[in-house]
Structure 1
Amino acid sequence: MTVKTNIAGAVSHPFLEGPIARRIVRLAVPGLLGGLMQSALYIADGWFIGRLGPLALAGVALVFPLFALSVMFSAGAMGGAVVAATARALGRKDHEAAGALVRTALILAISGGVFSAVIVWLFGPALFRLLGASGEVLQVAVDYAAVLFPGIVIVWVFNMLASLLRGSGDMVRPALGLGVSVSVHFLAASLLVAGAGPFPSMGIPGAALSILIGFGAGSLYLAAYLFHINRPEWVQVVGQIRWQQVLTVGRRGAFASVQSVLTVAMAMVVTGYMARIGPQSLAGYGIGVRLELVLIPIIFAFGSASIAMAGANVGAGLRARALRVSWIGSWFAALSVGLIGTGLAVVPGLWSGLFTSDPEIAVTTARYLRFVGPSYTFFGLGLCLYFSSQAMNTLVLPVTGAGLRLAVLLGGGVLLLDRAATDEGTVFLLVAGAMTTYGIFNALALRLGPWRH
């Protein structure tokens, strides 16, 4: 009788009934708008840095994968674990556990941000040298990281607060928070990088500081909404810390972070390949790979919707419906980013023209997009399946897929790339092949394995 009562009561949750595709789209639309705004932040950042010259673009290209790793940790890995845990708790109507997750999320944000900063402080310069940086390019990378990473905890706090809201099914407020971040970032960069009025240009340090100021403003907005303006019933800031919950969510997030590490390792490997060719090629690749950072928020919009819906269904014991949610959300993500990547492969100037007028850099960017652009379809499929796996507790195979993606890139590099004469086209072909392998492996492995029922 108790089970029937719980299930009947849980059906009132809006994620547990009704058409799946329509619900995913409705949930994803605010996330897509937020993703576009986050993409605007990356584009604006690249545009301002591009005004400082090709060496500035090349130096920042060395740091950006590390920044992307922190974003993926805080939003996709640890943040995804918080979204899934919140959705499952609310799906089974356990408001006490959901309230404790607020405190858990803040602890993870602070510890994750501090850990990221310490790692870059200790190993960042050595890593940049290992990737082939020297001279002015190396100095740009060191200067950019020296400002960005001491404040990276701000980015972690923003993404953890957004994850709590997403887990409750609120996709609108995180999108508005990103809008605040982008607007403030653009204003800050206009003053600190470009220089305006009484504000002299701070150059590269100003670009890094502008990102932190933007995310700081977004964090204040989300905190004000979540804890004061319209505090949901389940939100409990003060209370006993559930250390077992911190360990459980942190462990799941840490395992999910392996995917992020492997993804950024791939970006760093390609960055190393391109650094061998020269700064112009590195800058062109840096512009091209920014598209991935623009597309990830779009994938994340569908991934967040899938985690929230699938997690609530898992919490309510509706596994079959949770699986349908996961597949539908993943195919939406694949088609969305695939169309964008293919379109820019046909007209690459629409992308490269946003960042540079240097013809040599633009040629490298165009070559990257023509090789890699269509394969973003498979990247979107594989990454959204990874997000959904956080709700389904089936992360082993998607993480294995990320490892396979890196193995294709490294193995192909050993077989096809001569250290003395690395070819751009071959590098980009390897990148496209690795992405395609990733998406196909994740789809087949999950369909034939833990998701076959």
Structure 2
Amino acid sequence: MSDVGVAEIPVDQEERPKPPRSRPAKAGAPRSALVDGPILRTLLNLAWPNVIGLSAGTCVVIAETSYIGRLGVESLAAMALVFPCVILMMTMSGGAMGGAVASAIARALGAGDRERAGTLAAHALLIGITFGLVFMLGMLIFGPHLLELLGGRGNVLAQAIAYTQVFFGGAVLAWLLNTLAGVLRGTGNMKLPSLLMLNSAVCQIILGGTLGLGLGPIPQFGMRGVAAGALIAYTINIGVMSWYLFSGRARVVPKLAGLKVQWAMFFDILKVGAIACFSPLQSVLTVSILTHMLAKFGTAILAGYGVGARLEFLLISIAFAFGIASVPMVGMAIGAGKIARARRIAWTAGVAAFLAVGTPASLVAIFPDLWVNIFTDSATVRATSHQYLSTVAPFYAFMGLATAMYFSSQGAAKVLGPVLAQTARLIYIAICGWWLSTHDATAQSFFWLAASSMVVLGTLSCSSVVLTRWGPRASKPNIRTALSGAGD
């Protein structure tokens, strides 16, 4: 699909943008494929590196679980305790704020203003450092109490605190890493961040395993070593991305020399990022509520749900790949005033994510042993996993659709609708779950609740894109000028 012929048909007020406040692109300057190229082909070209990079991140989770298990059951329990906090920070810094940074950079480039893009990149780094310091201080001061509230006791709590002290002591590194990746993605460069994600995964697996287990001449540092391995990998990738950006090889160079803080630049990023940060927070709360409700049915039910949830985590990373790819495409189209193209990009990404997630999920729903056999031999857990996957897996496609709509809305700087859709899903699960709990419902009923909530989320996310104006509002005519013109 392309924009050929769009200018030949009438457009509504949303399609008739105001003249951009930024400097226009130079006449005769070559246009990017992100602005003018065929939508589906460009989207796929941007998405496939993300699939590789995000899959590498999944491999890190599997590998860490493997070698932490060698440290003992208490170490595994400690990692399970701290893992939601780690995921929350990484999704906030990467998907939420990182997506907001990419959106702001892309909109500036779409309007042909590289100087503004460079200034935005510098302000994005300040935001990343600030949020990193907040997470660092928050977890170092309140982390032990939080982990205790989550159920940590004895040696499990001690190991979780040890991991927290090292990992969140370097929280600024994680935020800088994802901020730099957001800047690069905003320019349309998906390959370097994805390549570095792959590099980070390899480094984390090697360094985390070596420092954690104490391989060769290296002493065993336990959970502290596992956390240190991640931070070393982050530092390496920060160095590579910083060199690439500041050497002038990217389309944007952060304007740090003589930087004057401009609140408008912070607002351009935070008007998307601050709202988007509620998305991962609500996702964690939704999963926590559902897990709490299923826990009363016993270990086998909870374990079966956990097996299915792992598949959801894996497949949603594919939707993330398409969603992240849509951010610079939508952002540059918005910046260039091509609102109709921006919407076509969003729907193309949504359909692609729906099919990419729904096809393998439906296959697993029909043949659940393809997935379940990887994790358990328990007949009871296998039966529960079959029940969960056959009920819920066909609806994972709606999660993929919602994810794509969320990221496309970030590109348009209109993310409130998808975030409110997640709020609606959270309320839906809480209210319906409470009603089911008071009526002695079976586990199957809760599985249907999980499935239907995905449909709610996908439908409302799409509705928000349809109902939200992406273009600037039409300016009101100057009445005084019109009257004087009539008098002439």
TM range (shorter): 0.7 to 0.9
SS in 1 for 2:210: helix
Contact 2:56 2:197 in 1 (8 A): yes
Q: In structure 1, how many angstroms separate the alpha carbons of the residues matched to 2:387 and 2:364?
A: 11
Task: Say if 1:55 and 1:279, in contact at 8 Å, map to a contact too.
Answer: no
Q: Which residue in the other structure is 1:381 paired with? A: 401
- Among 300, 324, 331, the residue aligned to 2:351: 331
Q: Answer yes or no: is 1:266 the counterpart of 2:286.
A: yes
Summarize deviations over 1:336-362 as a string: whole Å, max 9, x none: 122343344455565566667777776
Is residue 239 of structure 2 the alignment partner of residue 209 of structure 1? no
Distance 1:281 1:242, change over 3 A: farther
2: CA distance, partners of 1:13 / 1:62:
45
Match of 1:341 among 347, 357, 361: 361
Partners of 2:245 and 2:253 within 8 A in 1: no
1:172-204 Cα deviation digits (max 9, x unpaired): 110111011011011113313344223354443
Question: What code does the residue aligned with 1:404 have?
Answer: A
CA deviation profile, 1:343-386 (whole Å, cap 9, x unmatched): 44455565566667777776666655444433221111111101
Q: More helix per residue: 1 or 2? A: 1
> Which AA in structure 2 matches 1:323?
R
Identity over aligned residues, as a percent? 36
**Cα deviations across residues 245-271 of structure 1 (Å, max 9, x unaligned)?**
124312421111112221122123234
Higher-Rg member (1/2): 2
- Closer/same/farther in 2, CA of residues 61 and 424 from structure 1, 3 Å limit: farther
Please state if 1:157 is matched with 2:176. Answer: yes
TM-score (norm 2): 0.81
Higher mean alpha-carbon deviation, 312-321 vs 228-237, is at 228-237
Residue 308 of structure 1 is matched in structure 2 by 328
Q: Identify the match of residue 433 of structure 2 among 383, 402, 413.
A: 413
Please say if residues 83 and 166 of structure 1, whose CA atoms lie closer than 8 Å, have aligned partners that are also in contact: yes
User: Cα gap change, 1:355/1:113 in structure 2, threshold over 3 Å: closer, same or farther?
Assistant: farther
Query: Paired residue for 2:118, among 75, 86, 99?
Result: 99
Matched, 1:68 2:68: no
User: Whole-Å Cα distance in 1 between the matches of residues 138 and 312 of structure 2?
Assistant: 24
Q: Given that residues 39 and 295 in structure 1 are in contact (C-alpha distance below 8 angstroms), is that contact kept between their aligned partners in structure 2?
A: no
- Paired residue type of 1:415: W
Change (3 A) 1:233 1:137: closer
Q: Distance in 1 between matches of 2:341 and 2:207?
A: 45
CA distance in 2, matches of 1:347, 1:217: 42
Deviates more, 1:385-394 or 1:272-281: 272-281
Q: Report what 2:413 is aligned to.
A: 393
Equivalent position amino acid for 2:134 in 1: F
In structure 2, how many angstroms separate the alpha carbons of the residues matched to 1:278 and 1:202?
A: 35
Task: Supply the distance in 2 between the matched residues of 1:384 and 1:394 (Cα, whole angstroms).
Answer: 13
Q: Which amino acid is 1:252 matched to?
A: V
Contact 2:414 2:468 in 1 (8 A): no
- Within the candidate set 79, 83, 93, 2:98 is matched to 79
Structure 2 residues without counterparts, runs of 5 or longer: 1-17, 473-488
> Structure 1 314/33 Cα, relative in aligned 2: closer, same or farther at 3 Å?
same
Distance in 2, matches of 1:310 and 1:301, equals 15
Output the amino acid matched with 2:257. Answer: V
From 176, 181, 184, give the equivalent of 2:195: 176
How many Å separate the matches in 2 of 1:345 and 1:391?
Answer: 33
Q: Is the 2:333–2:341 contact (alpha carbons within 8 Å) kept by the matching residues of 1?
A: yes
In the alignment, which residue of structure 1 is the partner of 2:33? 14
User: 2:68 matched to which residue of 1?
Assistant: 49
* Matching of residues 191-206 of structure 1 within 5 Å: 191-206=210-225
Amino acid of the structure 2 residue aligned with 1:20: I
Q: Deviations over 1:308-348 (max 9, x none)?
A: 01111111111011110111012212221223433444555
In structure 2, give the amino acid aligned to 1:162. Answer: A
**Range that drifts further, 2-11 or 50-59:** 2-11
Q: Describe the SS at the equivalent of 2:277.
A: helix
2:240 is equivalent to residue 221 of structure 1: yes
Cα distance change of structure 1 residues 285 and 105 upon mapping to structure 2, 3 Å threshold: farther
